Amino acid sequence: MSLASDVPAGSPRLHLSKDVQQIVYRLLAAGLICLALGIATDAFFTTNNILNVLRQASLLFFLASGLTLVILTGGLDLSIGANIGLSACLAATVIKATGSPVLGTLTGLATGCAIGICNGLMVAKLRIPSFIATYGMLWVLHGITYYYMAGETIHGFPPGFRQIGSGHFLGIPIPVYLMVVFLVAGTIFAQRTVWGQQIYAIGANPVAARLTGIPIHRRLILVYGFSGAMAGVASIVFLARLNSAEGDIGEAMTLPAIAAVLIGGASLFGGIGSVFGTFIGALILTLVLNGMNLLAINASWQPLVTGAILVFAVWLDMYGRKKA
């Protein structure tokens, strides 16, 4: 089956030039933020700060890249932050019990993926709106994690495992290398494979996608499973970075991840967006938060700023659709 036959009219191919244009605008915005912070503070353009920004952006990107595919289908995954919490706590338990970082990492990834597949089954098979299904899953995961941890903290992991989150290679943090790998792989999958184009088609026009023979249910389960697996990746990097696991780890990451995807140009209505755009969105959001730290702005303002950016990105998306 040819790619062209899989993609209905109104597919992202027709918006390619517009997508490139939007990415250029966002790169310019990131450049202007860098310039402004470089003028306003002496510490911004230091090597340590630049590497810190890239490390923080990579943690956000892991979570947001999986969420991008969900949003491309017109869905939403609100359970990703809670997914990190349970995946990290189970991975930490296995590492402490067996002394094997490999088994612990596989446990974290498998837990994240299984949670995502459960979300996909609820959305695809039970036809529960993604907002409701994943919001319910969020509370289920919180309940399980808090009951399991009972207020305890698991800490102290092998030095080799900690390299995943805290190590460097050639002076660059390991998470940055991982981010590049997932960025390239995610971009190729979304833009250059039939499955990726089918995901775009489902979000652009689900009725037309069904009529062309795209297996919508299987693709939705795949997408939510991938989003959960990326939450598992984020849980392992967090665990290695923090050297401890608590019940609320990753809890505050859901809103920034959604904001990063929307800042990157994805539409909540589906069919528009890209993994590379999400990378730029994660970078912009991290730059803003880094700038607030450098300017000694109270940390309590950061959630407010993140929420305001998210609302602005949604408004921009709706305004753009009205003009189209």
Q: Kindly give the pairing relationship between strand 154-155 and strand 244-245.
A: antiparallel
Instruction: Indicate whether 232 belongs to any domain.
Output: yes
Query: Which residues neighbour 188 within 8 Å (Cβ) at sequence distance 6 or greater?
Result: none
Q: In a 10 Å sphere around its CB, with 0-12 CB exposed, 13-18 middle and 19+ buried, how is residue 224 labelled? A: buried
- Count the Cβ atoms, other than its own, within 10 Å of residue 281: 31
- Backbone dihedral angles phi then psi of residue 245, each to the nearest 5 degrees: -130, 130
Residue 35 lies in a domain: no
At 303, the amino acid letter reads P
Q: Kindly report the pTM of this predicted structure.
A: 0.88
What are φ and ψ of residue 238, in 5° steps? -60, -45
Share of the chain above pLDDT 70, in %: 93
**pLDDT value at 278 more than 70:** yes
Bridge partners of 245, per DSSP, are 154
Q: Is residue 38 part of a domain?
A: no
Q: What is the pLDDT of residue 3?
A: 40
Is 229 a member of any domain? yes
Specify the 3-state DSSP secondary structure of 80: helix
pLDDT in the model for residue 56: 93
* Residue 7 pLDDT > 50: no
Instruction: Say which CATH number the domain at 210 has.
Output: 1.10.3470
Q: Name the helix (H) or strand (E) containing 168.
A: strand 168-169
Q: What is the pLDDT of residues 98-143, one digit of tens each?
A: 999 999 999 999 999 999 999 999 999 999 999 999 999 999 999 9
Residue 45 lies in a domain: no
Flag whether 11 is in a domain: no
What's the structural domain count of the chain?
1
Count CA atoms within 13 Å of residue 284 on its CB side: 28
The arithmetic mean of pLDDT across residues 31-57, rounded, is 92
pLDDT in tens, 170-222: 999 999 999 999 999 999 999 899 999 999 999 999 999 989 999 999 999 99
Give domain status of residue 160, yes or no: yes
- Give the confidence band of 25 by pLDDT, cuts at 50, 70, 90: confident
Using a 10 angstrom Cβ sphere, with 0-12 exposed, 13-18 middle and 19 or more buried, the burial of residue 289 is: buried
Tokens of residue 199, six digits:
């995901």
Whether 140 is covered by a domain: the verdict is yes
CA distance 72 to 319: 18
Closest CA to 208 of 271, 164, 265, 148: 271
Taking residues 290-304, what's their average pLDDT?
86
Contacts of the segment 313-322: beta carbons below 8 A, 24+ positions apart: 313/259, 313/262, 313/263, 314/262, 314/268, 317/262, 317/267, 317/268, 317/269, 320/267, 321/267, 321/269
Name every residue whose Cβ is closer than 8 Å to that of residue 120 and which is 6 or more positions away in sequence.
220, 221, 222, 223, 224, 225
Both tokens of residue 176? 């940055």
Max CA pair span of the chain: 58
Tens of pLDDT, residue by residue over 266-277, are 988 888 899 999
Confidence bin at 265 (pLDDT 50/70/90): confident
Confidence band, pLDDT 50/70/90 cuts, at residue 2: very low
Domain that holds residue 239: 51-319
